Amino acid sequence: MVPAAFDYRAPTTLDEALMLLREHGDDAKVMAGGQSLIPLLKLRFASPALVVDIGRVPGLSGIESDDATLRIGTRTRHVDLERDTSLDRVCPILREAARQISDPLVRNLGTVGGSLCHADPAGDWGSVMLALDAEFVARSFSGERTIAGGDFFQGPFSTALRPDEILTEIRIPRAGAARRSGGTYLKLERKVGDFATVGVAVQVQLTDGTVDTAGIGLTAVGPSNLKARSAEQALSGREPSTDAIAEAARLAAEAAQPNDDVRGSAAYKKDVVRVFVQRGLAGALAQATARG
């Protein structure tokens, strides 16, 4: 398969990249690792006039953390998160999710920001970021703005980014020192490298045995990654009893909007959501309790 012809620029500064987007708007497509875009180009589902490769722009990759925030540069590769053992202490769900994305070869090139901007409803990072209540930092030539996680995904392969913007960073709020947190990502896939049949991201914070906040993100069961708000609200402020967990799982399954397809029926996928939320919450709560 051969992509349609396009012009290619590989700017070496962010300003240069933003200038190109201002100039070319919708005719341009930003490429980071290329693991989502290149298949689209090859299938000619996308045929932009210009590809802006941000692979040579410095300062867009890496993981930084202070007391309040964990920052992930947009071009941080999946493998970088997979191998960063310091995350086990700070935010274990990130490594757990990273190693379930596609396969090791794709993880060596694919990036967190690229995957999020591609906004495939079956993408894994979207659910993780929704569960973590992450914010998305977008830069354009005219400035910078922050997009709340819940507003980022607008539909299949569609985000709140304007054509002149680049996602530069993902910001994850860190649990306060008094609060114990835990998170997990569960993914059902037919084989390594397949898209999720269903994925569920769960993140909880406990204060004195009560759920302070709960985040639940759903993969491949709707027009985009979904935030299961009613399930989250059913837990917050409550003691995480078996009944409360079961109720949250039921609400999350209700919020899922899966389709019948080769990976399973809609009814089956809804039930996987229910089981995964239940299992994920149990795991996340156990983690949060164990983490002092």
Partner 1 sequence: MQVSVTINGQQQTADVEPRLLLVDFIRDQLRLTGTHVGCDTSSCGACTVLLDGEPVKSCTMLAVQADGRELMTVEGLARGAELHPVQVGFHEEHGLQCGFCTPGMMLVAKALLERNADPTEEEIRWAISGNICRCTGYVNIVKSVRHAARLQAERAAAPVAPVAAAVSGGES
Distance, in Å, from the CA atom of 232 to the CA atom of 202, rounded to the nearest integer, reads 10
Q: Is 4 in the site for partner 1 (CB under 8 A)?
A: yes
Tokens of 103: 């396969």
- Write the DSSP symbol of residue 116: H
Binding segment toward partner 1, per CB under 8 A, in 20-28, 106-114, 225-233, 246-254: 106-114
Give the binding-site size for partner 1 (rule: CB under 8 A).
Answer: 28
Q: Is 40 in the site for partner 1 (CB under 8 A)?
A: no
Continuous H helices in 63-187 = 78-83, 87-90, 92-98, 104-107, 112-118, 124-131, 149-152
Which residues, 6 or more positions from 23, have their beta carbon under 8 angstroms from its beta carbon? Answer: none
**CA dihedral of residues 278, 99, 193, 267 (deg, nearest 10):** 10
Q: Is 1 in the site for partner 1 (CB under 8 A)?
A: yes
Cβ atoms 214, 93 nearer than 8 A? no
Nearest to 187 by CA among 89, 98, 79, 105: 98
Q: Is 76 in the site for partner 1 (CB under 8 A)?
A: no
Closer residue to partner 1 (CB): 176 or 193 = 193
Interaction residues for partner 1, span 198-237 (CB under 8 A): none
Closest approach, Cβ 160 to partner 1, in A, equals: 27
What end-to-end distance do the CA atoms of the chain give, in Å? 53
Nearest to 39 by CA among 217, 164, 195: 195
Which of 25, 62, 193, 237 lies at the binding interface for partner 1 (CB under 8 A)? Answer: 193
Closer residue to partner 1 (CB): 34 or 163 = 34
Closest approach, Cβ 68 to partner 1, in A, equals: 33
Q: Is 6 in the site for partner 1 (CB under 8 A)?
A: yes
Closer residue to partner 1 (CB): 47 or 265 = 47
Which of 3, 173, 222, 223 lies at the binding interface for partner 1 (CB under 8 A)? Answer: 3
Cβ atoms 74, 59 nearer than 8 A? no
Q: Is 147 in the site for partner 1 (CB under 8 A)?
A: no
Which of 14, 16, 34, 65 lies at the binding interface for partner 1 (CB under 8 A)? Answer: 34
Distance, in Å, from the CA atom of 132 to the CA atom of 149, rounded to the nearest integer, reads 9
Binding segment toward partner 1, per CB under 8 A, in 48-56, 150-158, 179-187, 282-290: 48-56
Q: Is 49 in the site for partner 1 (CB under 8 A)?
A: no
Place of tokens 């998305």: 136
| Binding footprint of partner 1 on the chain (CB under 8 A) | 1-8, 10, 34-35, 38-39, 41-42, 51, 53, 55, 79, 102-106, 108-109, 192-193
